[in-house]
Structure 1
Amino acid sequence: MEDVFLETRELTKVYLDGTEALKKISLTFKQGELVSIIGPSGAGKSTFLRSINCLNKPTSGEVLFQNQNITRANGKKLRLIRRQIGMVFQDFNLIKRSSTIRNVLHGRLGYMSSLKGGIGRFSEYDVHEGLAILKRVGLEDHAFKRADELSGGQQQRVGIARAIAQKPSLILADEPIASLDPSSSNNVMNYLKKISEEDGITTIVNLHQVDFAKHFAHRIIGIKAGEVVFDGRPNELSNLMIDDIYFQGDRTYEYTS
């Protein structure tokens, strides 16, 4: 937890219409911590997350990941860096007609030749590992069901399992519980925290539900209008500060404590 292995330096993103989504964000992240990023819709949370692995190319600034400058990488080097960064999406991003286990095994594509990956020829070892990961997220009995036969919460756990299959050192989760009921949300956040603590995988999670951030995160970062306005432990995030982060004429955030 002491070594900084991810850093953003004055990260800025300006879209073509002039929208300044990120304004010189400088942050450091330690290995093995679960960090929740909170803020109102349009604050820049998703832009920040997707700028870390250059899914959104920053306008200026730098992202340093394990002493590698992602913002200057391209081609093969960028692909190798991204292989170490797992993504979990709000809409699950699964191939619905494929089996659960095949969706998990897609996390191994970055380690395969384009020929084997194109035909989905996974090794016996990868299949064994994929089944073990599904057991870890409580879905071993659903391994050979089609993904679209699973509930939303189960599909999100498949998304987490796929990210784990990459063997990443960093997981980025963009609003992973936005469409889930409270029980499924608890399950998903429990698994993300377990992975962070047991595997030492730094996990950065965008959340709109402040109560979940306070309950599960080791650290919370508040972003408002593209700027960091809070960075601290959950017990340091007061209701007054929550109001400051979210209040823009109406209260659209969710918190219970």
Structure 2
Amino acid sequence: MAEAILKIENLKKVYPDGTVGLKEINTTIHKGELIAIIGPSGAGKSTFLRSINRLNEPTSGAVYIGGENICEAKGKKLRMIRRKVGMIFQGYNLIKRSTTVQNVLHGRLGYMSSLKGGFGRFSEEDTKEALDILMRVGLEDQAFKKAGDLSGGQQQRVGIARAIAQNPDLLLADEPIASLDPSSSEKVMSYLKTIGKEDGITTIVNLHQVDFAKEFADRIIGVKAGEIVFDGTPRELTDYTTEQLYR
């Protein structure tokens, strides 16, 4: 069994209006796994994912990343843990007026002083690495184009490249293919799986598309009403189980 990269214990999220987003989630995720989180809208998938790196502040519980409880971390300690957690967003979150390679280089900001980062003084080594990553996601010929000029699928691959530039142990992808056509979705998921396997990165991805979860994930977690109701392999996710999850 591979080492546990992420351990979640009794993770709960209650919003200020009293809405319960998560009901004491417990799970362990191992190094190199690609996990797909599926479930109906409003089930708590994004709350779950964003609570892992505290983009959503958990109400209670513990999230151990590489043995460190991020829920208790503050200041420099929190920044150090987050540095090893890459994030990919549905809306890409790119700086559209900047070039593709500059966007990828932003993945290195956590390793730089605020002064150098603020002025964009990236090293020659970082720039070469960013160009190499763009080659890995099939965008080497787009490196010096403005990110806003790329297609949606290409922009999402820039988002992947930026996250990879962080040199993460854990990659969180929140509905990364929700707004993409099937062909672009296939490419994005293929790159996530390939790079994860090659670099030993653990990837957790929220998906609405059950067919993509079955095709690409090593393991599927089904979430409904803030609880894990299924946790198994794609083969174990039967049509009946899927129907029960979404009804």
Deviation at 1:5, TM superposition (A): 1.8
Instruction: Find the counterpart in structure 2 of residue 19 from structure 1.
Output: 19
Deviation at 1:20, TM superposition (A): 0.4
C-alpha deviations, 1:202-249, integer Å up to 9, x for none? Answer: 0000000000000000000000000000000000001111111111xx
The number of residue pairs the alignment matches comes to 247
AA aligned opposite 1:227? E
AA aligned opposite 2:109? L
C-alpha deviations, 1:19-40, integer Å up to 9, x for none? Answer: 0000000000000000000001
Matched, 1:169 2:161: no
AA aligned opposite 2:198? E
Inter-partner Cα distance in structure 1 for 2:2 and 2:158: 31
Matched, 1:154 2:154: yes
Mapping for residues 60-209 of structure 1, pairs under 5 Å: 60-209=60-209
Normalised TM-score (structure 1) = 0.95
Root-mean-square deviation (CA, aligned residues, Å) is 0.6
Inter-partner Cα distance in structure 2 for 1:245 and 1:13: 21
Inter-partner Cα distance in structure 2 for 1:195 and 1:169: 12
Instruction: Find the counterpart in structure 2 of residue 226 from structure 1.
Output: 226
C-alpha deviations, 1:159-206, integer Å up to 9, x for none? Answer: 000000000000000000000000000000000000111111000000
Deviation at 1:3, TM superposition (A): 1.2
Instruction: Find the counterpart in structure 2 of residue 51 from structure 1.
Output: 51
CA contact (8 A) 2:10 2:61 kept: yes
Instruction: Find the counterpart in structure 2 of residue 245 from structure 1.
Output: 245
Instruction: Find the counterpart in structure 2 of residue 235 from structure 1.
Output: 235
Instruction: Find the counterpart in structure 2 of residue 253 from structure 1.
Output: none
Inter-partner Cα distance in structure 2 for 1:76 and 1:42: 33
Tell me, which stretches of 5 or more residues in structure 1 are unaligned? 248-257
Instruction: Find the counterpart in structure 2 of residue 255 from structure 1.
Output: none
Give 3-state SS (helix, strand or coil) of 1:167's partner: coil
Inter-partner Cα distance in structure 1 for 2:116 and 2:2: 39
CA contact (8 A) 2:37 2:223 kept: yes
AA aligned opposite 1:93? N
AA aligned opposite 1:136? R
AA aligned opposite 2:115? L
Aligned sequence identity (%): 70
Inter-partner Cα distance in structure 2 for 1:151 and 1:3: 38
Inter-partner Cα distance in structure 2 for 1:232 and 1:50: 22
Normalised TM-score (structure 2) = 0.99
Instruction: Find the counterpart in structure 2 of residue 2 from structure 1.
Output: 2
Runs of 4+ in structure 1 over 2 Å off: none
